[in-house]
Amino acid sequence: MATQVVMPKLSPTMEEGQLSRWLKKEGDSVSMGEPLAEIDTDKATMEAQALTSGVLRKVLVKEGETVPLGAIIAIIGEADEDISGLVSEASSASTQAPQASSAPAQTESKKQAEDAVEGQPTKADEAASPEKQKADAAPTDKSDQVQQPQVAAESAGNGQGGRLIVSPIAARMAAEAGINLSTLTGSGPGGRIVKKDVEAAIGRAGQAPQQPAQQPQTQTEAADKPAAQVSKAAPQTPPIAPSIEGASPYREEQVTTMRATIARRLVTSIGPVPHFFLTTEIEMDKAAELRRQLNELDPENKVSINDLIIKIVAVALTQHPAVNSSFQEKTIRYYERADIGVAVAVEDGLITPVVRGANAKSVVQISREVRELAERARSRRLKPEEYTGATFSISNLGMFGIDEFTAVINPPEGAILAVGAMTPKPVVRDGQVVVRQIMRVTMSCDHRVIDGATGAKFLQTLKKILENPLYLLA
């Protein structure tokens, strides 16, 4: 019996997916559980698997198209089976607006999509997921929906014989300028082709579109925009005249799915969650010395200050379980293990891979795991269970020279620690002015589960261990 293949839910926050690449073609035999296609979600590139065995009779969504969760993307059946009815049904469904509560068939499709998830989200994750937005402002022209943070294509002539990993802005710019992506070498993580690679190719080929005299300034402004914003062919789009006389011209750019998801999650945090903030200064000389000694002992597995912070935060959480908790409306959930989310900046936004059970791991283990998770996060290869379900998060901007900042809690977690730069400063010790490496940290707390004194005691423990890491052995 022929079966419809629907766009599966591959991440807890996914509402639509971009079909990056078909791994099977029409007429190929497929087995249950076999990968059918690669899907770009709001967080990662993942494989959609066949839920039945048979022959891939019909492909209904082309590579590069974005469709909502539960949309029919293909049909699997017997080789000689009549599938005309299913094809007609799929065509009819594709012409209707994707309303979440309209057709029972679509509801059933979404149920099938839920069943295809690799690693279901926990109840805590479901509680954290934002409500599904209505699609009243979604564009109907799929060619304009460059919303996925990564595009995958077959390499045709770059001599590498593998896949090209291309950011959406680079793909759009290359298409508009007539640049063959297979002739480019990516400078991003894992050989990913990014905006600057296409801009360099346009400059070499002399294919930059002609614009009025103010265009060079506009391109500079576009280059300064965050990477999370996907440009609609910035080199070709002239500024829009402002409605207010004397105001600056502007250009509007389509947001990525990742950026839209971040925006929705922030609304569920900074508004409903009552934040308060605690800041303290920590003397880091002994922690820096410990790091130096560890790296001398094992040069192949170098640890960072952030790795030490992750370990010590996890240990401190076990001593202060009220901080390692989350508010669940009618209950407070206390976690038995310290699963630390580590914020990682990627080209299109921010993702937080999770170090599970960090309190029971060595600093070297944490270092290896963080490097691997960060690398796969930047190449969009994380699985949902690897970036959901943290019990506490750390955001470190010290490497960017930021001395102090406040971070927004990632629900349903009860707190997040913002880590600033480690800077030499004069301090008074035993009546003498000496120079010490000082680091400022700020903890954002959910006041529903963490009181001021509770958060302060946690920071006291964190400060004590960081200033004398030998406490880890006590």
| pLDDT at residue 39, as a whole number | 87
Q: Are 353 and 342 in contact (CB under 8 A)?
A: yes
How far apart are alpha carbons 88 and 86 in whole angstroms?
Answer: 5
CA 73 to CA 92: how far, in whole Å? 13
The answer to whether position 453 is within a domain reads: yes
372 and 459 in a common domain: yes
- For 408, counting Cβ atoms within 10 Å of its Cβ (0-12 exposed, 13-18 middle, 19+ buried), the class is middle
Asked if 284 and 158 sit in the same domain, the reply is no
One domain, residues 370 and 447: yes
Please give the pLDDT value at position 208: 42
CB 20 within 8 A of CB 150: yes
Which two structure tokens, joined as six digits, stand for 6?
């629907």
Contact 144, 233 (CB under 8 A): no
Active site residue 447: yes
Q: Any residues with CB less than 8 A from the CB of 374 and at least 6 apart, and which?
A: 342, 344, 353
Backbone phi, psi, residue 19, to 5°:
-75, 100
CA count, 13 A, side-chain hemisphere, 181: 28
Task: Render each residue's pLDDT in the chain as its tens digit; 474 residues.
Answer: 778 888 888 777 677 888 888 998 888 988 888 888 888 776 677 888 888 888 898 888 888 888 888 888 888 988 888 887 888 777 776 655 444 333 333 434 444 434 433 333 333 344 344 343 333 333 334 333 333 333 343 333 343 445 567 766 677 677 777 777 778 888 776 677 877 788 788 877 764 444 443 443 433 343 343 333 333 333 445 666 666 767 777 777 777 767 777 777 777 777 788 999 999 999 999 999 999 999 999 888 899 999 999 999 999 999 999 999 999 988 999 999 999 999 998 877 888 999 999 999 999 999 999 999 999 888 888 888 899 999 999 999 999 999 999 999 998 999 999 999 999 999 999 999 999 999 999 999 999 999 999 999 999 999 999 999 999 987
Is residue 142 situated within a structural domain?
no
* CATH of residue 13: 2.40.50.100
Catalytic pick from 447, 448, 467, 469? 447
Residue 266 lies in a domain: no
Question: Residue 267 falls within a domain, yes or no?
Answer: no
Residues 235 and 164 in one domain: yes
Q: Does the model's pTM come out above 0.85? A: no
Domain check: are 249 and 278 in the same one? no
Using alpha carbons only, give the angle 270, 272, 273 rounded to the nearest 5 degrees. Answer: 65
**Domain assignment present for 314:** yes
| Residue 359 contacts residue 337 (beta carbons within 8 Å) | yes
Q: Which of 221, 255, 289 is the last residue of a domain?
A: 255
Structural domain span for residue 320 = 273-473
For residue 441, being part of any structural domain is answered with: yes
Say whether both 61 and 164 belong to one domain. no
- How many domains are contained in the chain? 3
Distance spanning both ends of the chain, measured CA to CA: 65
Residue 306 tokens read as 């952030």
Residue 117 lies in a domain: yes
Q: What is the pLDDT of residue 269?
A: 78
CATH number at residue 362: 3.30.559.10
Cβ within 8 Å of residue 39, ≥6 positions away? 7, 8, 10, 17, 18, 19, 20, 45, 46, 47, 48
Verify that 295 and 159 share a domain, yes or no.
no
Say if residues 382 and 43 touch (Cβ distance below 8 Å). Answer: yes
Domain closes at, from 128, 160, 188: 128
Rounded-to-integer distance, Cα 451 and Cα 460, Å: 14
Let me know if 417 is exposed, middle or buried by CB neighbors in 10 A (0-12, 13-18, 19+). buried
Predicted pLDDT at 17: 83
Place of tokens 């710019």: 173
- The whole-number pLDDT of residue 103 equals 38
Verify that 320 and 439 share a domain, yes or no.
yes
In this structure, the answer to whether residues 171 and 201 fall within a common structural domain is: yes
225 domain-assigned: yes
Tell whether 303 and 440 lie within a shared domain.
Answer: yes
Max CA pair span of the chain:
90
Same domain for 240 and 291: no
Domain identity same for 342 and 416: yes
